[in-house]
């Protein structure tokens, strides 16, 4: 056992039934060379301290549920290798979210923001079944595909300085999701979303710090989506001045 590498994990703890403010607790963990940060947290939970609370599911960087702050940076703990860190690793809950307990944060308010951008195909008239499926070319798919890769991990919200100062801000993931549907060749709801994006706390609240794209584990580039949505919202507004009927569509 003397050859087993050990790392110290400094984990933020918070029990709303007992604690007034968060505190930290240190654990010494024997780690394997191929472990991710999540493996160490699971080891702590299973073998050292069963009271530790953290959220995870797929362990394949698909579900987005294991996002946490690792050494001050928002990360998917199932994806980031422990070998990337030194002898001490600090793990805390994602900032800009209410903490439920320890490393688990509340996401309900942010899910409501997603709904606000109407993330579904909007059609002026429902397509008849006998008309068959709507076809889309590979080129049309490519227009929005990368914006559809979001796994709702909320790392971008944790990194966003605007979210930190303006909690009502729709945020990068929600805006990128709405923009993804506005780019979809099957959708006819871009006008509705443009009106949403011209409202307060939406695309024009973004200061383009680009932190959201820096931390995105799926390379969605939400910062690009926000800025494209800004442009489309302005063009739509200007067209409405020239063609008033368009605003009523």
**Residue 41: pLDDT over 80:** yes
Q: How confident is the model at residue 22 (pLDDT cuts 50, 70, 90)?
A: very high
Domains in the chain, number: 2
8 Å CB contact between 187 and 181? yes
Specify whether 128 is located in the same domain as 243: yes
Residue 242: per-residue pLDDT: 83
Specify whether 113 is located in the same domain as 236: yes
Specify whether 113 is located in the same domain as 56: no
Burial 50-64 (b: 16+ CB within 10 A, else e): eebbbbbeebebebb
Specify whether 241 is located in the same domain as 130: yes
1 assigned to some structural domain:
no
Mean pLDDT of 172-195: 97
- Average pLDDT value over all residues in the chain: 94
**Which percentage of the chain shows pLDDT scores above 70?**
96
Give rounded-to-5 percent helix, strand, coil for the chain: 40, 15, 45
Q: What is the pLDDT of residues 68-95, one digit of tens each?
A: 999 999 999 999 999 999 999 999 999 9
47 assigned to some structural domain:
yes
Specify whether 97 is located in the same domain as 198: no
Residue 126: per-residue pLDDT: 85
Mean pLDDT of 222-248: 85
**Residue 1: pLDDT over 60:** no
Rounded CA Rg of the chain = 22
**Which pTM was predicted?**
0.91
**Residue 210: pLDDT over 60:** yes
Which residue range is the domain that position 63 belongs to? Answer: 6-105
| Listed residues 48, 74, 105: the one ending a domain | 105
Mean pLDDT of 46-66: 97
Write the CATH number for 172: 1.10.1060.10
**Residue 245: pLDDT over 70:** no
Specify whether 118 is located in the same domain as 154: yes
């Amino acid at each position: 056992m003397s050859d087993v590498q050990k790392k110290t994990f400094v984990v933020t703890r918070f029990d709303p039934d007992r604690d007034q403010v968060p505190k930290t607790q240190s654990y010494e963990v024997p780690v394997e060379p191929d472990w991710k940060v999540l493996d160490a947290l699971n080891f702590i939970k299973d073998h050292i301290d069963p009271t530790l609370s953290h959220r995870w599911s797929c362990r394949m960087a698909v579900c987005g549920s294991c996002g946490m702050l690792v050494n001050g940076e928002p990360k998917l703990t199932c994806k980031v290798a422990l070998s990337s860190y030194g002898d001490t690793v600090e793990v805390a809950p994602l900032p800009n979210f209410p903490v439920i307990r320890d490393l688990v944060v509340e996401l309900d308010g942010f899910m409501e923001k997603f709904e606000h951008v109407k993330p579904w195909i909007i059609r002026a008239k429902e397509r008849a079944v006998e008309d068959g499926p709507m076809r889309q070319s590979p080129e049309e798919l490519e227009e929005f595909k990368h914006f559809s890769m979001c796994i709702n991990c909320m790392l971008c919200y944790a990194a966003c300085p605007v979210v930190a100062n303006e909690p009502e801000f729709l945020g990068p993931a929600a805006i990128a999701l709405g923009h993804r549907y506005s780019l979809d060749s099957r959708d006819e709801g871009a006008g509705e979303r443009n009106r949403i994006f011209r409202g307060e706390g939406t695309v024009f609240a973004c200061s383009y710090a680009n932190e959201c794209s820096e931390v995105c584990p799926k390379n969605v580039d939400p910062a690009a989506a926000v800025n494209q949505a800004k442009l489309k919202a302005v063009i739509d507004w200007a067209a409405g001045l020239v063609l008033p009927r368009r605003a009523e569509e």
